Amino acid sequence: MTKIEEVLEKLDQIISECRSKQSRIGYFAILYRQVTRRVRDGILAGEFEDNPRMEVLDVLFAKRFIDAYEDWVQSQANTESWRLAFEASKNTKHLVLQHLLLGINAHINLDLGIAASETMKGKELQAIKSDFDQINFILSELVDDVKANISKVSPIFGWLIPLAKGRDEMLLNFSIQIARDGAWKYAGEYHIDPNKNFQIQDRDKNIAALAKKLINPGKFLGFLIKIVGFAEWKSVSKTMNQLDQVAAETLKKI
């Protein structure tokens, strides 16, 4: 894949498979397709600092998720961060938001730094910082709006959001802002280290540990999750449709 339209075609295929299999990986995939569409539209509108380079970054970034998904479907090894996210998708006890954040955890905390470095291979990494931040801004705005509008598929979680007053990330021990900052730091470390395999393996161990905390956040949060999950929609395809609608409406405003 070298073009963003090829990425979108592949994401369409993954989403179709998730619908037919009722796979909760579809929750992340459907949001990610909306992000990719927004990046494509931004490229066409000339929004980014370097639009051709942004397409390269977007393709390399998306390819890491697509490759991880295909490896998992074929029972082949990939990163532990993605394996945990995919395996968790089989479990009905996790919240919709947990599934989304498990995907975001692997994709931002591990994949984004690698993709940024590979885009700037042989060049100064700092030159891509503005476009790197722009992708993170789009993702962050989308996740925040999904959380704010999740009440239809997750009524109790939707009720908790206003009460949390900006501290809702504590419910699942995950901050996309911290993930963004960590991803840029890792991009720099990966970029200058000739031993890329070691960098990936070492980083993957740390990000997999975060995934395990998202999956098993402790007794108190686990109790809250159980209560929230009781009222969530059980239909994967219906939930995917609602997430797609919320994401599309959000990205029109960004």
pLDDT at position 148: 74
Element (H, E) at 217: none
Non-local CB neighbours of 184 within 8 Å, separated by 6+ positions: 113, 116, 129, 132
Angle between helices 176-192 and 96-106 (to 10 degrees): 20
Q: What sign results for the dihedral spanned by CA atoms 47, 107, 210, 153? A: positive
In this structure, the dihedral spanned by the alpha carbons of residues 170, 171, 176 and 182, taken in order and rounded to 10 degrees, is 60
Asked if residues 102 and 85 have their Cβ atoms less than 8 Å apart, the reply is: yes
**CB of 206 closer than 8 Å to CB of 212:** no
Between 50-64, 89-103, 154-168, 198-212, the lowest mean confidence (pLDDT) is in: 154-168
Residue of 185 and 155 predicted with greater confidence: 185
Contact partners, residue 7, CB within 8 Å, separation at least 6: 1, 36, 58, 59, 62, 63, 66
The CA distance from 84 to 111, in Å, is: 15
Average pLDDT of the chain? 89
Find the mean pLDDT for residues 59-85. 96
The pLDDT assigned to 161 comes to 57
Residue type, 160: L
As a whole number, mean pLDDT of residues 71-78 equals 93
Find the mean pLDDT for residues 129-137. Answer: 91
Q: In the predicted model, is pLDDT for residue 87 greater than 60?
A: yes
Torsion of CA 90, 249, 133, 57, to 10 degrees: 70
Nearest partner of 250 among 173, 158, 148, judged by Cα: 148
pLDDT single digits (tens) 11-38: 999 999 999 999 999 999 999 999 999 9
172: confidence class by pLDDT, cuts 50, 70, 90: low
Q: Which tokens in the block code for residue 228?
A: 């929230």
Where do the H-state alpha helices sit in the chain? 4-21, 25-44, 51-73, 80-88, 96-106, 113-119, 129-148, 155-164, 176-192, 196-215, 219-230, 236-253
Q: What per-residue confidence (pLDDT) applies to 168? A: 47
Q: At what angle do helices 196-215 and 96-106 cross, to 10 degrees?
A: 170
Distance of CA 176 to the CA centre of its chain: 10
> Residues 149-165: what's their mean pLDDT?
71
Helices and strands (H, E) in the chain, number of each type: 12, 0
